[in-house]
Structure 1
Amino acid sequence: MTTLSIFIAAQNGAEYPDLLKDKLGEEIEYTVATTIEDSVSKYSGQPVLLARPDFAAAILESKPPIDWIQSTWAGVTPLIEHSYKNYILTGVKNVFGSQMTEYIIGHILYHELRMEERAEQQKQKYWKAKGSGRLQDKTMGILGTGSIGIDLAHSVATLGVRVIGYNNSGASAEPFGQVFTKESIKDFLRQSDYVVGILPDLPVTTNLIDTAALKAMKKSSLLINVGRGNLIDDDALCAALNNHEIAGAILDVFKEEPLPENSALWTTKNCIVTPHVAAMSYPADIVKVFLRNLEHYMAGEPLLYQIDFEKGY
């Protein structure tokens, strides 16, 4: 294989070289940056970047001679929003589905098994044998029918959960029993016991879950967002939770991250906040995607998982 020159820009970037050497041998030139500042100062014209989108976006300010950027994230908003687009951008597929599925099912079980309530009863030494909620025969509405949504749908279906989907086109997809669009979103929400957001950050998805959408949801429904923070109108959600219009919300992504200390989401009743941990970019997983694409790159073949800058995904 021809000698390679790769620029790695990620907080955990130091973990990548050894993983790459295991597959590519010692004939590889690489530079590692672990901060945005390092990314800008250390970059020296490498044609291939394996990088976090926000780190890569900082490098693009100089309009560098980049052929290809392999994102280490599922979301690529910083690069979509950047004006410089004279390169190929590839995303990550078939990596985050299992992590997000575990996160989502875990939080649903926490809710249905009344874990918070029972922990409080234990503290009070109070014995009350109240039944748990069940997943069997519930309906999960998944906003986003891509690879992550499909992984989640297959997994919850094995637990007896009916699955419906939402996407921009309304195109059917397995294993979703029915797929809805923006025009029919209220029907989608009315049917769903669990509403799960896995949509990209696009103008058409911004504040999709607003006051009207929340009012269409069941009072017993649970809202979970692991996609992008732009999906939800935060003020509307806080109002809906405070007014007991829905049962609860689990939020892993936000319009501003880290979530500001003065955000009402921290203290709103029945709202669980987690710091964007539903799916992490582990180097051992990302390297597999990168190496598959590197073979295509070196052979002059089309790369996998190319991002359409116009569509934003």
Structure 2
Amino acid sequence: MPNILFAARSEKWEDYEHLLRAALEAEGLDCTLATDLAPDTVDYIVYAPNASVQDFTPFTRLKAVLNLWAGVEQVVGNPTLKVPLARMVDEEGLTQGMVEWVTGHVLRHHLGMDAHIVNPDRTWDTTPPPLSKDRPVTILGFGALGQACAAQLAALGFPVTGWSRTPKDLDGVLTSHGDDGLDAALSSAQILVLLLPDTPATTDLLNADRLARLPQGAVILNPGRGPLIDDDALLAALDAGRIAHATLDVFRTEPLPRDHPFWAHPHVTVTPHIASTTRPDSAARVIARNIARAESGAPLLHVVDRSAGY
């Protein structure tokens, strides 16, 4: 009978307790689930990186840590964590939420909807937008989230390029990889979507030099991680008219400080980190399924590669 510690902020326990118990029971697991287990009795930790547990050394019989979040940058480098760390990959909740946010904002910018929603001068411009086939979209980051978004956009007729550090394929989508592939992927991107993880290799990936490689008037969507973009370089590109608009869901500091220039910039849309959030009902099922796999001797799903950082 495994012992499972729920390590997250107290308000999350209220959201998750009954859902996790139901999901664990549905998997046929007879287990103890609590927030206050003695460390040396714990087999699994259901974990949010902002929890009070930061030292894993006392958890001497720990088998795995199951992250509640898709992002693991706040825990992956913890030197006291010696057991497998599984990130949250939830197609029903996280993935679908990201697909809907990305698709909605791609269509918003593609159709020029802002000019119709806010039109104080009551202008009557009958110029139609291009069709989707004439609006290339590039997605940087081609993991589960990137591929799901690419498939949806390709189904709508957009020419989609997916870029990753290592080769990946998806039917109906042009793919590229590595530094050379990045240059080509940027040069065609009328709409650029950032879905990379936050690692030392991706910090400030979109700097002044790479922003200059985008087509004139490109639009940037960042629902990935705040540090992917050099904020000052982005503001300069927006002020110069090189970049037409940036819709940003993630930031280096969250909540975004009220005096940050993004709030007041006429060509920036701020959304409050809502593109892809963990839904407790579906996340509980993902966690229970992974624990059941481990207890049956099967390998855990979605184990983080510590060397890559995700």
Q: Normalization by structure 1: what TM-score? A: 0.88
- Aligned with 2:82 (options 86, 106, 112): 86
TM-score (norm 2): 0.89
Percent of aligned pairs with the same amino acid:
29
Match of 1:108 among 103, 106, 109: 106
CA distance in structure 1 between the partners assigned to 2:227 and 2:248 by the alignment:
12
Amino acid at match of 2:48: R
List alignment gaps of at least 5 residues for structure 2. none
Residue-by-residue CA offset, 1:216-242 (whole Å, 9 max, x unaligned): 111231111111111100000000001
Counterparts of 2:77 and 2:4, CA distance in 1? 26
Structure 2: distance between partners of 1:133 and 1:64: 60
CA contact (8 A) 1:251 1:271 kept: yes
| More off after superposition, 139-148 vs 44-53 | 44-53
2:53 to 37, 54, 59: 59
| CA contact 2:4–2:45 (8 Å) conserved in 1 | no
1 CA distance for matches of 2:30 and 2:168?
46
How far, CA to CA, are the matches of 1:62 and 1:166 in structure 2?
A: 35
Q: CA RMSD in A?
A: 2.1
Alignment partner, residue 301 of structure 1: 298
Question: Which structure is richer in relative contact order (CA contacts within 8 A, separation 6 or more)?
Answer: 2
Q: Which of 30, 41, 66 is 1:70 aligned to? A: 66
Q: Tell me the distance in 1 between the aligned counterparts of 2:199 and 2:205.
A: 10
**Contact 1:52–1:71, Cα closer than 8 Å, also in 2:** yes
The CA distance in 1 between the partners of 2:208 and 2:197, in whole Å, is 20
Q: In 1, distance between residues paired with 2:37 and 2:219?
A: 45
1:194 alignment counterpart? 191
Unaligned runs of 5+ in 1: 33-41
What residue in structure 2 maps to residue 174 of structure 1?
Answer: 170
Kept in 2: contact 1:94–1:148 (CA 8 A): no
The secondary structure found in structure 2 opposite 1:50 is: strand
* Aligned partners of 2:176 and 2:182 also within 8 Å: no
| Cα 1:62/1:88, change in 2 over 3 Å | closer
Instruction: Report if aligned partners of 1:226, 1:253 keep a CA contact under 8 Å in 2.
Output: yes
Distance 1:166 1:293 in 2: 29
1:60 aligned partner, one-letter code: Q
What amino acid sits opposite 2:34 in the alignment? T
